[in-house]
Structure 1
Amino acid sequence: MSDPVLSLRGVSKRFGGVRALVDVDADVHEHEVLAVVGDNGAGKSTLAGVLAGAHRPDIGQVLLDGRPVVLGSPAAARALGIAAVFQELALVDDLDVVENLFLGHETRRGPLLDEVAMEREAWRLLDQLAASVPTVREPVRTLSGGQRQVVAVARALLGSPRVVVLDEPTASLGVRQTAEVLNLIVRLRERGHAVVLVSHQAGDLQAVADRILVLRLGRVHDVFDGDASYEDLLAAMTGAVRPGAKQSGTKPAGAQRTGTEQAGPDRAARR
């Protein structure tokens, strides 16, 4: 496996007396979906916030191509090629798709907005994602949940980031819309992005993940390959012991060691 694009080493984060992350190590590679799963309060959103520049670690390092970087803000993270899409999406319902994509980053020709160039770029991004948006000139309030998620991801892809962080992208979506978003994640991997997919829905992760990192109480409890069973993931998330499983510290079947020992063959290559 190639060297990781983005790494966390010994990252810890507190909010008052709450330890949200404790000594977290993680790696994500190009052409890979690293899924992060855990129960409520496990530290998933805090981890996404650290990668996106929304939270600065109290202890530890963030490495980009093996070099320490400071993600002091979302803008700093974007400048380094790390884009994030959070659960709230931050779309403006009354603006159309083009206006949402370029809000705050409008293309100009002299003193005027270059509407033609922005519309052309909007269609280019959506076509790359195989999006089924009927038109880029409709207000986003008319779009389905899955289509809104696609618009938010397309906006994140402006500037061609290397790492895309998706925080709970399938939350509150129906079956069909969830399938659209999962297909979108596969396309991001095929385009070469390193994808960090944060979710509490283990079943969704299994469909697209190359590796699955399980957080529990702010710590990395296990790292599984993408073929791990739902039962093993659930046991790792909750701390339960599966019937017949040994309690001597042996990791569940399919699990892998945390830290610098990472998964074997790239799952994308097996497809």
Structure 2
Amino acid sequence: MRATGPPLLSLRGISKRFGAVQALEDVDLELRSGEVVALLGDNGAGKSTLIKVIAGVAPADKGVIKWEGEVVHIRNPQIAQRLGIATVYQNLALCDALDVAENLFLGRERRSPGIRGRLLRLMDNGGMRGEARRQLDALGIRVPDVRAPVAALSAGQRQTVAISRALLGKPKAVLLDEPTAALGVTQAGHVLDIVDELRDQGIGVILISHNLGDVKAVADEAAVLRLGRNNGFFHVPTTAQDMIFSSIVGATSSK
């Protein structure tokens, strides 16, 4: 069933240049609440650049972005986060020396109650660990101990920890950059289960992936980029995988 209602996020005519390289040109994209949109394309198609535009890391040179129907200017990541946009990059940006709970709360640490006006208070480690455990359990994430260092986790566990950290701010949209790229079949399947759970919670998801099997498993819609431009929009459940692949490699275009 297609997600209905107005778009949560709407991009129109988005362009981005880096020096002499035109990374994006007149790109359109829509995302609704409770919808998974796969962003597809060959290497260099502009997928990661578009994610960075939405996340405020590389603001667009021109074009219009609407969030919940209102025009917004996402000039930096803080604006994106305040709107309710969370991003999980391919490198995950986890700190191996910290444990799971510390990674989840990195940059938003909580301190224990103390004397009013006291500048230095101890970290509320117990509270953060308790909330980290509840967050992981709610998503069905299998991490035995939130006190375990991230360096000791499997690749799949690290990916799910990064996704869980993005959800602590209760975003309305989550951008996932190749979340299953380095995972085995079982681990990838668990990450896709989490994507399904996000949709069930009414969160919009933009999923970058090279794996059409993953796309067929979880995506509602697919948007294909080629050489920085739109090269196709597809309703995934009713579109043959070969047709989507042809659009990725440039054999066909469906707009």
Aligning the two structures, in what range does the TM-score lie when normalised by the shorter sequence?
over 0.9
- Asked if structure 2 preserves the Cα contact closer than 8 Å seen for 1:12 and 1:58, the reply is yes
Secondary structure of the equivalent of 1:112?
coil
- 2:197 corresponds to 1:194: no
Looking at structure 2, the residues matched to 15 and 57 of structure 1 have their Cα atoms a distance apart, in angstroms, of 11
Question: Following TM superposition, by how much is the alpha carbon of 1:160 offset from its aligned partner in structure 2, in angstroms?
Answer: 0.4
204, 229, 233: which one aligns with 1:219 = 229
What is the distance in 1 between the residues matched to 2:208 and 2:122? Answer: 39
Q: Give the TM-score normalised by structure 1.
A: 0.87
Structure 2: gaps (5+ residues) = 115-120
Q: Shift of the alpha carbon at 1:146?
A: 1.1
Deviation track 1:93-116 (CA, whole Å, cap 9, x = no partner) reads 111000101111101123111112
Partners in 2 of 1:239 and 1:61 — Cα distance?
26
Instruction: Give secondary structure in 1 for the equivalent of 2:127.
Output: helix
Q: Distance in 2 between matches of 1:72 and 1:120?
A: 35
Aligned residue in 1 for 2:152: 142
1:238 match: 249
**Aligned positions of 1:59-78 closer than 5 A:** 59-78=62-81
Match of 1:115 in 2: 125
Q: Percent of counterpart pairs with the same letter? A: 51
Q: CA deviation at 1:229?
A: 1.9
Work out the CA distance in 2 between the residues paired with 1:77 and 1:169: 20
Distance between the aligned counterparts of 1:107 and 1:66, measured in 2? 34
CA distance in 2, matches of 1:54, 1:199: 20
Q: Which runs of 5+ in 1 are unaligned?
A: 242-248, 252-257, 259-271
Separation (CA, whole Å) in 2 of partners of 1:193 and 1:131: 18
Cα deviation digits, residues 231-268 of structure 1 (max 9, x gap): 11110001125xxxxxxx7x4xxxxxx4xxxxxxxxxx
Determine whether 1:229 maps to 2:240: yes
Mapped to 1, the partners of 2:153 and 2:182 lie a distance apart of 15
CA distance in 2, matches of 1:165, 1:195: 6
**Counterpart contact for 1:37–1:237, Cα < 8 Å:** yes
> What is the rounded CA distance, in whole Å, between the counterparts of 1:9 and 1:120 in structure 2?
42
The residue aligned with 2:172 is 162
Equivalent in the alignment of 2:19: 16
- Name the aligned partner's letter for residue 177 of structure 2: D
Matches of 1:199 and 1:31 in 2, distance apart? Answer: 19
Deviations 1:132-169 (A, max 9, x none): 11110100111111111110011101120101000111
The count of residues paired between Structure 1 and Structure 2 equals 244
